[in-house]
Structure 1
Amino acid sequence: MSRLEIPTPAKINLGLAVRGRRPDGYHEIETILQLVDLTDRLILEREETGQISLETDHPSLPNDEKNLVYQAARLLQRHTGSSWGVRMQLQKHIPIGAGLGGGSGNAAFALWGLNELWELGLTREELQELGRALGSDVPFFLFAAQAVGTGKGDALSPLPPLPPLPVLLINPGFSLSTALIYRRVRLVLTKRENRITMLRRFFLMGDVEAIGRHLFNDLETVVLEDHPVIGEMKEALLARGAEGAIMSGSGPTVLGLFAERQTAQDALLHLQQEHRGWWIHLTTTLPSLEDMWQRVRRDST
């Protein structure tokens, strides 16, 4: 195997609770994470010289050590002492700075792909630990297709997979800084019902309607203050039949969870006609990370 073509998926947050500020400056959170089949494409070609290079097709992305994919390759090379290098191409389809974890997924799948390509034999747990050095979301993309994240979001516990569900994503056409959004969070110190526990229970039951009714994100009110379009996007999705709608991560992308694909497809057509300035994409939840890895191995050269 000397070449891999890897689809790197986006993630959505179906619930996100901010619990407090940590001594290290990060926030303590609880979140439910789910992969979807909106993907970037990462092409890896093994390089005998030991050199690492990266090309991207997005003008705002760096091609050097400022890029998480490049950082992932260098980190793995140094950690293992591998003499192999790699030529990497990154083709972007996931919006940048959108609350969908595109960069984190790119980095995570670079670690996984290079572990395969360089025949390093690291375990999934070892790759997750390396991923923590790159970002709080990175370990999730190496863990499972759905999980509960606590701590900084990188302490993960499994959730049972749901059947593939249609998800309509809407982005208003601008990006947001995750760090800035978290700095503006006003913590609520009064005791609240644990909505993550409720969502987890509905996952176990496979109750899509109940999951939709209980979507939430503590960061949403922060973003709404400056960007009321978030509320407009939510209302548009609910009006077109979504079981629930919520901002994903630190935004500004809003997701609508649907029970039926035909309803989601009808909503897509109507919303594209009504809101031509919005980026709107119909995707599906992924039930299994392992299935994606197996397809990449099968198609590799």
Structure 2
Amino acid sequence: MNIQEKKQAAADWFKDLRDQICASFEAIEDDNQGPMADREAGRFERKTWDRTNQADGAQGGGGTMSIMRGGRVFEKVGVNISTVHGTFTPEFAKNIPGADEDPSFFATGISLVAHMNSPRVPAVHMNTRFIVTTKDWFGGGADLNAPLPNAQDTEDFHKALEGCCNRHDPAYYAKYKKWCDEYFYIQHRNRARGEGGIFYDQLNSGDWAKDFAFTQDVGRTFNEIYPALIRRHMNEEWTPEERETQLEYRGYYAEFNLVYDRGTTFGLKTGGNVEAILMSLPPEAKWP
């Protein structure tokens, strides 16, 4: 498989995964019998965008945002895909593997963030991506972000990801869990952003098919365990105090994404769609 075929295969997979996840989430909306069951079941709205704001005015790919707002279960959830290409600025190219030799790049991926109505249902983040410069690699992961941490939810989420990792390389889970814990850490708050998960980057083992299979399995595993956690709690009542805790937690979540997140930086510095990049921010938050 040549590099163009690899690019297409990865982009096609991210689109297919998007469709699978959106279907899972809409089914949850239909099945909800909880505190907001009198609302109309939420549905995703899709919006495409083109990356045409490069310095030379050339078209540089684009993407599709899939956003659901104000549903029975999901207060705001985005499942975005993009496939973009272009040239890094000289300053930014220094930080990207292979870009110091040639600043041209290609990037395709899926990015998901879910903020829930119920503080008892954990928020979540997931993304996987394929990047090509003079080198190529996969990256991504998934992490749980509960305003009210639940030990069983956390254990089940990690077990699912551990099983995923073990199907491909027994060394992956410990390595990628540690990387996640270190990456999703709010340094100025001296606290973790959430309950962790896995995070990996620059994955190129020399066997592209193997690395792609792992990245696909991360997506499938996420789409199995996270809907299960939602269904576990989505019909429970919650208190005003729990909602306040959720809103304060969201403030910390927003701080991380705006100050430390590499994906945010990558998108903003490569002419990405600002609305799609900042999709990760919660619809409502508070700071104590």
TM > 0.5 fold call: no
Compare relative contact order (CA 8 Å, sep 6+) and give the higher one, 1 or 2: 1
Bin the TM-score by the shorter chain: under 0.3
Q: TM-score, normalised by structure 2?
A: 0.28
Which is richer in helix? 2
TM-score by structure 1 length? Answer: 0.27
